[in-house]
Amino acid sequence: MLVSASLPPLPEKIQKEIQNGLPKEIEYQVDVMRSWDRWLDEYMAGLTLVRTIKYDVLKKEYRLSSLEGRYLYEKTVTDLNEAVRWLTVLSEVPVAEAASLPPGRYYVRVDMASRRMQVTGLFSVLMFFMSETDFSMTAVSESFMVLP
């Protein structure tokens, strides 16, 4: 089962922070969920992807990396729009084998979260009230059937 998802562009604040050279990390959680009528939905398969972006202000290029399971993909681009598109669009990510899923009604949920930079030492104790994420969003697909 290959999953593709397109999420809205990053907020302007995040794009400006990237252009100022602050590294950003976006974590995706792609889950295949089995839908039940009178019970909680069941997690069947999933994958975590971590994409990072860092702008090199001297070379004027964006360094991109994507950790997909146990594979690391890296690339470099010079256009901000291309970097943001790569960061917010998932294209045919392998999540599960449809033959291994029991028959039923399913949907795919994609959670996206941008984590703040890690605060260490005494500052982490003093700043416990700060949120750990810059922003987060969730996209849910239409339901679909898996037949025997």
- pLDDT at 120 exceeding the cut of 90: no
pLDDT per position as a tens digit, 8-40: 878 888 888 888 888 888 899 999 999 998 889
Domain positions in the chain: 2-146
**pLDDT value of residue 78:** 93
* DSSP codes of every residue in the chain: -EEEEEPPPPPHHHHHHHHTT--EEEEEEEEEEE--SSS--EEEEEEEEEEEEEEETTTTEEEEEEEETTEEEEEEES-HHHHHHHHHEEEEEE---GGGSPSEEEEEEEEEEEEPPPP-THHHHHTTTS-SEEEEEEEEPPPEEE--
Confidence of residue 62 (pLDDT cuts 50, 70, 90): very high
Q: What are the residues whose beta carbons fall under 8 Å from the beta carbon of 126, sequence distance 6 or more?
A: none
pLDDT given for residue 122 in this prediction:
58
Query: Has residue 47 got a pLDDT over 80?
Result: yes
127 pLDDT above the threshold of 90:
no
Total Cβ atoms within 10 A of residue 133: 11
